[in-house]
Amino acid sequence: MIGWMAARADAPNYGELVVFQFSKQELTYGPMQVEARIDQNPEISEAITLWSQAGSDVLRGNTLVIPIENSIIYVEPLYLEATERGTLPQLQRVIVAYGDNLTMQETLNQSLAVIFGIEEEVPPPGEVPVPTGDLAERLARIAELYEAAQQALSEGDLGRYQEQINEIGEVASS
């Protein structure tokens, strides 16, 4: 990947384009390369195959490409949906890729903790821990917004979902 571009959605900067250009001397994985790495990962592939056999469908959500500092982090939700008609998919795992690291955990916080080697304290449900440092604070805020976006999506509230995704972009580009 050689670049990433987004349009801002906040009131004073609405429509302003934000562009990140990556070095041609360094390899920056693109979304398709990250998807291939996920498919080739034995633990993830095995889990997807197992869940697909038990009367369920595994749905891979949209891969979010989030620039942070001078790098990119990829986040992909993994849903499980019963094959019965009228069932709603449920978030089962969150896959995170950063550089050469790749993990699949139950929550975004857990995936980020594994990727960045952070000892994670298990917070009470609904409470997001606030780590120290600017990057850690931004990652925690992105995790919180992502969870809220997934909740809105599962409730069918696409307006609130889009608001959360837009705010993720604002936090990531600030």
Which pLDDT tens digit goes with each residue over 101-152? 999 999 999 999 999 888 755 555 666 555 556 777 888 888 899 999 999 8
Residue 94's pLDDT is 96
Residue 32's pLDDT is 92
pLDDT at residue 65 tops 80: yes
C-alpha distances (whole Å) from 38 to each of 42, 104, 148, 166 are 9, 9, 24, 26
pLDDT at residue 47 tops 60: yes
Percent of the chain predicted with pLDDT > 90: 33
Structure tokens that stand for 129 in this block: 């821990």
Is residue 65 within 8 Å of residue 31, measured between CB atoms?
A: yes
Residue 89's pLDDT is 87
Kindly list the domain boundaries of the chain, sorted by start residue: 3-173
Q: Residue 88: what are its φ and ψ, rounded to 5°? A: -100, 140
Residue 93's pLDDT is 95
